[in-house]
Amino acid sequence: MPNTFEITITTPPIISNPQGKSSTTFVINQQFYGVCGTSVSNLNSGVVVSTNDYEEVDLGNGQTPGTLLNFTTNGGANFSSFSNKGPLNGGFTISGDSSWKLPDPNNTFIGLGGRDMRGRVVPVATLLAAPSTTYNIFPKVVYYISTGSAVEGEIVDIASFGNVQLVDFSSSTYNSQTFIHQNDGTYSPVSQLAAKAHKLRSLALEKIIQSRNIELGSKNGGSSGCLVKEDLLAKKLQEAFLKLIHGLDLDA
């Protein structure tokens, strides 16, 4: 897909935990969409684009063809129809009619879409569409982590954000990846075992702190001189988790 531009999607909130650290989780929906629209400006870095129309698409799987979307500008940029006549291997097709001409003052675009953190379908990668042209699009489950300032839907130049971490699921056997944002702005990958251990440790510490606060409150005049059975069991389980976690090699 030539002349493709990367577009920002919603950034989830950053959550602090009792250990003074903070984290944020990106949840990525694997459903892909064909998107189309127009832009008041040419598709360059800093331009904000929005979706006029979108359709859920299936990717070809080697036996069943992917989705074919027929695109037109009659009545505004939209997909007039669709069928299962797209490519066989890992892609879908957008085929434009002759309802517009170049040069195009509306900067008509097509591309790949996905759902943002609010559940809205937004452009992820776009390109200017030429009339009477067919585009085969092959999505890659490759993403980038970075800090910076941008508006939702704004086309961005990845290189302008400084330190950027590539997150590649195309060759990964896991459906999640964890990175530590270091003080110098770089990113360090965390192994799956270490990521799970850190999460368990955080949950265990939080539960133990809660249990001890309840126990202390009971000793200082609470209605009961001991923890309720469920809290005692939870405390024992969390302490057992801690013993297990401390024995793990977190750098593995």
pLDDT digits (tens, 9 = 90+) for 127-138: 999 999 999 999
Helix 229-246 crosses helix 192-219 at what angle (to 10 degrees)?
Answer: 140
Q: Which tops the pLDDT comparison, 109 or 10? A: 109
For residue 226, pLDDT beyond 50: no
Please give the pLDDT value at position 158: 77
Does residue 95 contact residue 106 with C-beta atoms inside 8 Å?
A: no
For residue 166, pLDDT beyond 80: yes
Please give the pLDDT value at position 7: 63
Judged by DSSP in three states, 159 sits in helix
Phi, psi for residue 148 in degrees, rounded to 5: 160, -175
Q: Which tops the pLDDT comparison, 18 or 88? A: 88
Q: Which tops the pLDDT comparison, 92 or 154? A: 92
> 225 pLDDT band (50/70/90 cuts)?
very low
In this structure, how many other beta carbons lie within 10 angstroms of the beta carbon of residue 97?
14
> 221 pLDDT band (50/70/90 cuts)?
low
Give me 15's structure tokens. Answer: 């959550």
Mean pLDDT calculated for residue range 115-127: 86
Round the CA-based radius of gyration of the chain to a whole number and report it.
25
Q: Which tops the pLDDT comparison, 66 or 243? A: 66
Q: What is the DSSP string of 56-124?
A: EE---BSSS---EEEEE-TTSSEEEEEES-S-SBS-EEEEE-SSS-SS-TT--EEEEEEE-TTS-EEEE
Please give the pLDDT value at position 28: 75
For residue 249, pLDDT beyond 60: no
Mean pLDDT calculated for residue range 171-182: 80
In this structure, how many other beta carbons lie within 10 angstroms of the beta carbon of residue 133?
13
Mean pLDDT calculated for residue range 193-200: 60
Does residue 72 contact residue 132 with C-beta atoms inside 8 Å?
A: no
Does residue 109 contact residue 128 with C-beta atoms inside 8 Å?
A: yes
CB-side neighbour CA atoms (13 Å) of 188: 9
For residue 23, pLDDT beyond 80: no
Q: Which tops the pLDDT comparison, 119 or 67? A: 67
For residue 29, pLDDT beyond 80: no
Percent of the chain exceeding pLDDT 70 equals 67
Does residue 49 contact residue 126 with C-beta atoms inside 8 Å?
A: yes
Judged by DSSP in three states, 34 sits in strand
Highest mean pLDDT among 37-51, 158-172, 195-209: 37-51
